[in-house]
């Protein structure tokens, strides 16, 4: 185990004990889980994407309807990063706990698909995914892979092969509702879990930020792993204000009985 102070070591072991004794652990992840893979987050001071661009101008549903070229111009370098990114040790650790039967559901705010590439199976993408696209005119759905190469190479806006309508990535833009079926499953998972582990999320974006409270209201334990403090710190059983890539692998070692 890497060098941690005594309090951090104790909290890692307490978190592992809670997960090991659980019957239904749900993990909620945010942008902080993917930043070690090279994907920038949106809200960090100085480095967040919204420090450089106005989201209402480039990533709102209204803007996309009237000026899709603005969205695709803004999205292109981010999409290139996401396509090339690889799962990090935090993603792999979560998948390992799922494979071992300790984690039942992963709820993620991320759109990059890295959980699935790491091996997680039951993933609820509440903010959508870049892996699929839908025509705004005829609603034909496409696997994004068939359009990504041309878009990334030339910057041309992807279009439907049936009606020539513009394709919109299946991600939730500002002013757009979250996918209803996925959201209902996420709420049900929080309602029935006995442990929620929040990893790499500042819990600042509603309605996802309210999911830990829903879990607590139903008697679940709460574990928080995030570099910055969150509004739920005072309600958590364990708070680890550390990097997820350092903490999660060590929680897994302890859960599986391989800790130092």
Active site residues: 127
Q: Are 198 and 119 in contact (CB under 8 A)?
A: no
**Rounded Cα gap, residues 251 and 90, in angstroms:** 10
Give 73's contacts (C-beta < 8 A, 6+ positions apart): 58, 155
Cα angle, residue 182 at apex, residues 199 and 42 outer, rounded to 5°: 45
Within 8 A by CB and 6+ apart from 81, the residues are: 38, 39, 40
Separation between Cα atoms, residue 159 and residue 168, nearest integer Å: 9
Residues in the chain: 260
Spatial neighbors of 129 by CB under 8 A, at least 6 apart, are 111, 113, 169, 170, 171
SS3 at position 121:
coil
Give the strand order in the sheet containing 25-29: 123-125, 103-108, 25-29, 195-199, 221-225, 238-240
């Amino acid at each position: 185990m890497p060098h941690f102070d005594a309090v951090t070591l104790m909290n890692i072991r307490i978190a592992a004990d809670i997960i090991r004794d659980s019957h239904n652990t749900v993990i909620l992840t945010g942008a902080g889980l993917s930043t070690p893979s090279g994907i920038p987050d949106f809200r960090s001071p100085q480095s967040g994407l919204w420090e450089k661009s106005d989201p209402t101008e480039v990533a709102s549903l209204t803007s996309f309807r009237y000026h899709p070229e603005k969205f695709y111009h803004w999205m292109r370098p981010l999409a290139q990063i996401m396509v090339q990114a690889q799962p990090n040790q935090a993603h792999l650790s979560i998948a390992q706990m799922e494979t071992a039967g300790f984690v039942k559901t992963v709820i993620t705010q991320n759109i990059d698909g890295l959980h699935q590439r790491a091996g997680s199976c039951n993933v609820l993408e509440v903010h959508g995914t870049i892996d699929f696209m839908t025509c705004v005119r005829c609603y034909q759905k496409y696997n994004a892979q068939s359009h990504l190469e041309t878009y990334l190479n030339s910057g041309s806006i992807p279009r439907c092969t049936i009606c020539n309508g513009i394709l919109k990535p299946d991600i939730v833009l500002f002013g757009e509702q979250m996918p209803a079926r996925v959201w209902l499953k996420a709420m049900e998972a929080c309602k029935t879990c006995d442990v929620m582990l929040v990893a790499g999320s500042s819990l600042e974006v509603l309605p996802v930020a309210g999911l830990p409270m829903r879990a607590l209201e139903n008697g679940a334990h709460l574990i928080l792993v995030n570099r910055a403090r969150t509004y739920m710190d005072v309600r958590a059983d364990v708070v680890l204000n550390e990097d997820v890539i350092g903490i999660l692998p060590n929680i897994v070692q302890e859960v599986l009985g391989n800790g130092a």
